Every structure is written in structure tokens, then in C-alpha cells.
Amino acid sequence: MGVNDTDSDKTQEEEQQDLPKVVLFRPPPAFSLIGEESFASNKFQFLKTYDSQLPLDQFLSTHSHSIKAILSSGGAPVNADILQLLPEVGVVVTTSAGLNQIDIPECRRRGIKIANAGYVYSADVADMAVGLLIDVLRKVSASDRYVRQGLWAAKGNYPLGSKLSGKRAGIVGLGNIGYEVAKRLEAFGCFVSYNSRKKKPNVSYPFYHDVCELAANCDALIICCGLSDETRHMINKQVLSALGKEGVIVNIGRGAIIDEKEMVRCLMQGEIAGAGLDVFETEPSVPKEFFAMDNVVLSPHRAVFTPESLKDLSQLVVGNLEAFLSNKPLLSEYVDSE
């Protein structure tokens, strides 16, 4: 009986070793938040470079024949040097909505498919964008601190905030997330306009090809686009100046889309009215100037994370990997959209 059990265990172990490998360069945040077991499958096995003592290139070369897919998360680049070592890889599945860590042209050149988080995060991030905007306009976090510090009783009423209804909201990047933000703001009675790489068919919101022109025609600028060479520091001095002294900026895209030093200067000098920020240029470092600003609301890059969205993410990631390994269409294949 004991011998039979051992033989069975060995067979299962051998079967596991024969499964296609999915390589990880760093643990996705979701692993620690909801558990790696949520991403388990009997169709593939994870291979973790961060658990090996070998140099990365040696590790990848050793396992290159069995690695069929990459599970990517932010901060670990998937570039030409990596892909050159993995000739059997046919898909990169990412746990993020953004793809700035992936060399998309190189993947296209090699015929490697890409699947991102699709619509999984869209509602949660849109909720956060609107929440940050309301917080900045109505001074929710600042007035909360005022009450907690006993200043209401000591100094009297807190300064008034501004209403959201009737504001002109400019959205930079009308992809999945940007469109969800637009729908929410429209329901609040805002007048929505947008900027994207190209005008969207069947979208009635006014389109501005130039971000500066969009900023000049809105009260709140909400950054929803991805980070790329073209969008890095796209929100610069000129755009912030166009937004003006009454304008508010919200960023739930990527920190480096905004010239952070210039934004700090504009806020300190009163050249824009406020900011709601979930992302920063060199996370987790945040400019210390923000800490003393009551017109700035800060969040530690958590717009995408709720228990509900992480459960949906695990199902989507596993579904994408299993679909690829079964020669079926990906569930959330990336296509140019913004």
C-alpha cells in the first residue's frame, strides 16, 4: 500500500514537471493579496526566476525549451533581450491594464500575442478617479483632518469646497477605463470631452486632438491613458498652464505621464487648484511637498485593487493562459484602443 502511494506521488510529480511552463520575473501583487493558489491550474506550471540563485540569462536558457508563456507584472521588463532567450514563448499575459513594461513592437515582430487585464479593473479605477475628483473639489480628506485635529471647535467652519455637477471634465485616454470615467461623470452632470490617439467612432463627446487645447477647455483633467514614449511627460508646463488656476488634475494612469516636478511647482505657486493622485513618477517615493498641501489627495497606487477585481483577475489570467495552451482565442487579447 505504501509503495503504491509512493509510485502514485512520483507519477503526479512527473506529470507536473511535463506541464508547459509560465515564467514569472517577479511576484504579481495579486499573489500576496489573494494568494498564489488562486492562479493555479492543471494545464501549466509557474516557473519563478526570483526563486532561483542562477543569473537570469542562465536560468532562462536552461528552461527555454519548456517556457511557453510569460506572466508579467509592472516593474519587470519584457524586452528584446528577454524574448531572445525564450524562443518558445507565444504569449505574454499581464496582470496590469497598462503595458509599459512590455516591448510591444518586439512582441509583434516575433508573433507573440499579448493579453492584458482587459475590463477587469475598469469599474474600480473609474470609481477611484471620480472619488479623487470629488475629494479634491469638496475637500473631503482635508476637512476630515480638520475635524480630527479638533480645529472645527477651535477655529470654526472649514472653507467651502466646489460642486462636481456642471464641471467640464477632460479625459486623456478614452479606452476601457476612460470611457467608464466618462459615463460616471456624465451621470454627475459634468460636460465630458476627451483626447485620445484618434477620435472614437460612435462617441458623442467632443474630441480634442491637442491635449493643451483640451486642458484649456476643462475644469478637471483626468489622466486615464497608458504610459509610452509618446505619453511620458505629456502633461507638461504648457498643459498645466492651460488648465489654469481653477483647474484640477486627477491621475489614475501612470505617474510619469505628468511632469511631476512641474506639477509640484504649479501647485505650490497656485497655478492649478488641486490634484488627486493614485500614481507617482518614482513609486513608492512621493514628493514631500505634497504632504503639506490640503488641495492634494494621495493614494498609494491602489485604484485597481479590490477583492472583487482580484478574483476576476485570477480567473482571467488563468483563462488566458489555458486558452493559449489549448490553441483557443485569448479572452482579453490586447489591441490598440485609446
Strand boundaries in the chain, DSSP class E: 21-24, 45-48, 67-72, 91-94, 113-115, 168-172, 191-195, 220-223, 248-251, 274-277, 296-298
Whether the CB-CB separation of 152 and 139 falls below 8 Å is answered with: no
- Catalytic pick from 213, 301, 322, 333? 301
The model carries a pTM of: 0.88
pLDDT beyond 90 at 9: no
Confidence at residue 212, expressed as pLDDT on a 0 to 100 scale: 98
- Does the fold of domain 121-298 match that of domain 6-117+307-326? yes
What are the structural domain ranges in the chain?
A: 6-117+307-326, 121-298
Residue with cell 459634468: 190
pLDDT beyond 90 at 336: no
- Catalytic pick from 254, 260, 262, 281? 254
Whether the CB-CB separation of 277 and 303 falls below 8 Å is answered with: no
In the residue annotation, 301 being an active-site residue is answered as yes
- Catalytic pick from 186, 283, 289, 333? 283
Express each pLDDT in 156-206 by its tens digit: 999 999 999 999 999 999 999 999 999 999 999 999 999 999 999 999 999
pLDDT, average across residues 255-279: 98
Average pLDDT, the chain: 94
Express each pLDDT in 47-87 by its tens digit: 999 999 999 999 999 999 999 999 998 789 999 999 999 99
Model confidence band, residue 10 (pLDDT cutoffs 50, 70, 90):
low
Instruction: State which fold the 6-117+307-326 domain adopts.
Output: Rossmann fold (3.40.50)
In the residue annotation, 289 being an active-site residue is answered as no
Question: What percentage of the chain's residues is helix, strand, coil (to nearest 5)?
Answer: 40, 15, 40
The β-bridge partners of 102 are 78
What is the DSSP code string of 27-69?
Answer: --HHHHHH-GGGG--SS-EEEEGGG--S-HHHHHHHHTTTEEE
Considering only residues 252 and 100, tell me which one the structure prediction assigns the higher pLDDT.
252
In the residue annotation, 254 being an active-site residue is answered as yes
Q: What is the CATH number of domain 121-298?
A: 3.40.50.720
pLDDT beyond 80 at 15: no
| Nearest one of 267, 220, 270 to 248, comparing CA atoms | 220
